[in-house]
Amino acid sequence: MVGAPAGGRSGPGRAGTPGPPVRRILVTGGEGQLGLELRRHAWPAGVEIFAPSRAALDLTDPEAARSIAEGGFAAIVNAAAYTAVDRAESEAAAAFAINAHGAAALADAARAADIPLVHVSTDYVFRGDAAEPYETDAPVDPINVYGASKAAGEAAVLSGPPRAAVVRTSWVVSAHRSNFVKTMLRLGAQRDVVRVVDDQRGAPTLARDLAEALAVIALRMIDDRDAPAGLFHVTNAGSATWRDFADAIFDAARARGAKVPRVEAIATADYPTPARRPAYGVLSTRRVEREHGVAPLPWRERLPALVAEIMETSG
């Protein structure tokens, strides 16, 4: 059993008249920050979102693919992932179980049911030594276990159902769960100085905007069997170092009257972690703009509203 409806809209329109055919979309990872945004997204009438818990749908269970294939879904959006980058260095089997084998199970299910699969991946599949944004056809060369597990998942999806899209993204933040914006606001309230890495560059991405793009791609692939598939990159427009990102977060907090710390720039070498991080992970969004009409919004314009939401909900 893969779960019960969690969000979305369906059913009749005016009294006594049938509504549009129900399109049931399975969202995995529904309790994560992206999954939560997919569940709260304003889907069109006639769409039902099913977001089962991890216990209800264990992607490491060999029976999962059969259960999904028989579930009557119109599409799958895979937002489930093992994202503990540092812990993955010592838990490689766990990372690969979800990010690679779980993705393969969903690919098998999508192939068996002849439905689209939209799979979320990461900039960490790249080495991070580029000087300009990575295009979708750039060779993958991960430098940590997490990136390797996600690259394996991509390969499984792209070799599976004919209607499959792999959507790479980066630096995802939201008002939910743990992420960089929430961490900076918490540390900023506790400290006078916050030290932040300034030699890694990427593209901040609001989970809400990523969910919007995934919805566009998924619905188009449901409605049009010839819709563009394959690899896409989706981020907000613009890039930043982590220090740049922190400065912008505290600027937004200051504008709302919060006490903010001084941000001290440090090098990656000054903040050692078990997993190596790519120094550069900016992704070119040109293909998704061209093929699906998804125009990325500037992260600097979108950030203040997110900071306000977090500050309001945290009291």
pLDDT tens, residue by residue, 101-144: 999 999 999 999 999 999 999 999 999 999 999 999 999 999 99
SS3 category, 27:
strand
The domain 5-177+203-238+282-298 is placed in CATH, from the list 3.40.718.10, 1.10.20.60, 3.40.50.720, 3.40.50.1370, at 3.40.50.720
pLDDT tens by residue, 229-270: 999 999 999 999 999 999 999 999 999 999 999 999 999 999
Please calculate the CA angle 258-262-267 and round it to the nearest 5 degrees. Answer: 135
pLDDT tens per residue across span 16-61: 555 567 899 999 999 999 999 999 999 999 999 999 988 889 888 8
Residue 258 tokens read as: 């919060």
Residues assigned a catalytic role: 146
Q: Residue 87 corresponds to which tokens in the numbers above?
A: 């812990």
Please tell me the predicted confidence (pLDDT) of residue 2.
45
Q: Are strands 75-78 and 117-122 parallel, antiparallel or unpaired?
A: parallel
Q: At what angle do helices 103-113 and 145-158 cross, to 10 degrees?
A: 10
User: What confidence tens digit (pLDDT) does each residue in 192-205 have?
Assistant: 999 999 999 999 99
- What does the pLDDT look like over 51-78, one tens digit per residue? 998 888 988 888 888 899 999 999 999 9
Query: Which DSSP category does 138 fall into?
Result: S
The 3-state DSSP class for residue 132 equals coil
The whole-number pLDDT of residue 74 equals 98
The model carries a pTM of 0.93
The domain spans of the chain are 5-177+203-238+282-298
